[in-house]
Structure 1
């Protein structure tokens, strides 16, 4: 969470000079991983494998698995205390964290703290990396990672699974497109300000839509390289549905050809929603809900277009 969401304007700290440029104040360069917390890692792993992900490494000290396809990393955290805390006692998986690639993790962390973000105390164990983090929606965490090129965080904290390809190809050109966040009633302005102030996101006009789930406000992140930009979609509850729980709800996956991606994923066992309100078309598709909470949205997105 952040003081930006709780403090009136006069009580906030004044802006200070950024170590980066104004358009990208924390040196953001895309997404490193998304983490699910769950007490049922095998069941979630089966869903991820249907979506084309493969388990490639195990954490050295915790009950944590790393799944990958193409440039996408998903961490499944079944460490008992972590799973219990993130799910608030529920037995369904939750998106408990996102890790952002930044030029300098410590500088980015200090920058957002100066602007009201709330830090997450570190509990790194022996021989584990300390990865700075702040609080996000629904008790989730936003990590800052600057080791993602020749030397990565997985080289320290994880052990590769023998005989497994460490870089499995992406199914049907799948790449990260964005993440959907459910927010409380009339909370759009608060969250837009949060992401804009801390990360330099840009609000996309309402007439510019992507995929088949057009509700909410869309934000685009900056990035050091244009191909690493991604979307944040903020969705308030319908007026007749009072659901004030704020959470990271689903992952958006970009694909160059929606029909081809749906066919490939159906061959792996994935089921898609086909109703009058939401159905597969050239713009996108949405999977059925697995394990009570796990949903994936496909969005038409050419990787080359992201580099424009």
Structure 2
């Protein structure tokens, strides 16, 4: 351990994967229909807020249409946006305290009576990065959600489909700053510049310390340099699959369109959905799922 790690609370937390991705949506039924087409199923509703839980395999997606969450979106005129990512970590409280020591911005607690308080910090734009304790003896969804039936598991639309990561738009010249943010707080590492994953090579790719997911930082180029609406934000959710074309076929059979033109088209490396709603697309990337970590309840 170096002096800097000692001063700021030890090494980065042990990240084990993505617990959930949250979308804020002014049209939750529309977004839910899109999620259904790519294989997710509605399993539960929040006990006190306008929040829904969708699941497919080991992936959880939260659709948040609570009025308090949608205030900013109403001003920006967007229907759906990625509003949060939750990291699975060992010892969430310690991870949160370390983030605070490194200068992260806390978010006000949103938990009400009998609700679980999940620590979180400010991420890009208005998003939140939650820290979910992997060593907890219970499911966080059993605390805050009411299941619609006895169903808890949903077979994935294709075998081994998993969260690959997020594309994050950033303003010009900010790649180094965001790389430092994720490296210092969470131990992400930038892959060599020549590394390309999927079919869109542009951007800085950051690998999570567990090697199970990635973040792609994308600065504006070309006409986007002059686009006053190029905001820093999580722009797109990507799924990993060992068989991209097989996944395209399975999703297409459910009515999911894919971009197929002179610039972007599905191939064995990746694919991007055509917009099923104006402001939501998804990406497929050829990637074999890393095995889930073995549970360890030692302090």
Cα separation, 1, equivalents of 2:56 and 2:183: 30
Q: Deviations over 1:173-197 (max 9, x none)?
A: 2111111000001111110111111
Aligned to 1:265: 251
If the length of structure 1 is used for normalisation, what is the TM-score? 0.88
Cα separation, 1, equivalents of 2:135 and 2:144: 13
Shift of 1:303: 2.2
Contact 1:95 1:140 in 2 (8 A): yes
Question: 1:19 and 1:190, CA in 2 relative to 1: closer, same or farther beyond 3 A?
Answer: closer
Identify the range of structure 1 (284-293 vs 52-61) with the bigger mean alpha-carbon deviation: 284-293
Aligned to 1:64: 51
Shift of 1:90: 2.0
Shift of 1:265: 0.2
Question: 1:305 and 1:121, CA in 2 relative to 1: closer, same or farther beyond 3 A?
Answer: closer
Shift of 1:253: 0.3
Aligned to 1:175: 162
Q: Deviations over 1:92-129 (max 9, x none)?
A: 20100001111011110110111111010113111111
Cα separation, 1, equivalents of 2:153 and 2:199: 30
User: Aligned to 1:275, which of 239, 261, 273?
Assistant: 261
CA RMSD of aligned residues (A): 2.0
User: Aligned to 2:152, which of 166, 188, 193?
Assistant: 166
Cα separation, 2, equivalents of 1:30 and 1:122: 23
Q: Deviations over 1:196-236 (max 9, x none)?
A: 1111111101222110011100000112xx5xx21000000
| Aligned pairs (5 A) from 1:150-161 | 150-161=137-148
Aligned to 1:80: 67
Shift of 1:16: 3.0
Contact 2:8 2:98 in 1 (8 A): yes
Contact 1:101 1:148 in 2 (8 A): no
Contact 2:83 2:126 in 1 (8 A): yes
Shift of 1:305: 8.4
Cα separation, 2, equivalents of 1:295 and 1:135: 24
If the length of structure 2 is used for normalisation, what is the TM-score? 0.91
User: Aligned to 2:240, which of 243, 251, 254?
Assistant: 254
Contact 1:124 1:130 in 2 (8 A): yes
Q: Deviations over 1:35-56 (max 9, x none)?
A: 0001110000000000100001
User: Aligned to 1:238, which of 210, 216, 221?
Assistant: 221
| Aligned pairs (5 A) from 1:110-129 | 110-129=97-116
